[in-house]
């Protein structure tokens, strides 16, 4: 009787150990910026086109807004305007065109531009 009870407990433990499986579930960001200009030269009063490539590794399309930020926010607020468009990003590689405008009264500057996106 004791042997049967022990056997029953062993079978139950073995079933639980081998029947229950836990695995990590990772939800990855499907979009990534793969190309954008490494350096941008412009002058006061000019519009500049920015060619940016976004890769969509998913099988569905997404709506995306690009965000641009200079390392000097006061300069950006005073002298630079960036496009604020929403793009449809299809699966695969997507070539996007954005723009920036430099005010005519902008002083010379050496700045760093960060490009990011918001997936809606």
User: 57-71: per-residue pLDDT in tens?
Assistant: 999 999 999 999 999
* Residue range(s) defining the domain that contains residue 107: 30-119
Whether 106 is in a domain gets the answer yes
Q: Is the pLDDT higher at 1 or at 78?
A: 78
pLDDT in tens, 40-59: 999 999 999 999 999 999 99
How many CA atoms within 13 Å lie on the side-chain side of 11? 6
Whether 89 is in a domain gets the answer yes
CATH of the domain at 101: 2.60.40.10
For the record, the structure tokens of 117 come out as 């996106």
Whether 110 is in a domain gets the answer yes
- Across the chain, mean pLDDT equals 90
Quick check: 43 and 102 in contact, CB under 8 A?
Answer: yes
What does the pLDDT average to over 67-78? 96
**Global pTM value:** 0.77
Domain count, the chain: 1
Quick check: 89 and 54 in contact, CB under 8 A?
Answer: yes
């Amino acid at each position: 009787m004791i042997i049967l009870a022990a056997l029953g407990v062993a079978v139950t433990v073995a079933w639980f150990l081998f029947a229950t499986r836990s695995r990590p579930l990772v939800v990855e960001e499907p979009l990534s910026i793969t190309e954008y200009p490494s350096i941008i030269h412009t002058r006061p009063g000019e519009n500049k086109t920015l060619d940016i490539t976004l890769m969509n590794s998913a099988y569905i399309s997404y709506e995306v807004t690009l965000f641009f930020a200079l390392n000097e926010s006061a300069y950006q607020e005073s002298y630079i305007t960036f496009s604020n468009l929403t793009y449809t990003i299809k699966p695969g590689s997507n070539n996007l065109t954005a723009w920036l405008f430099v005010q005519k009264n902008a002083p010379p500057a050496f700045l760093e531009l960060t490009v990011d996106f918001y997936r809606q």
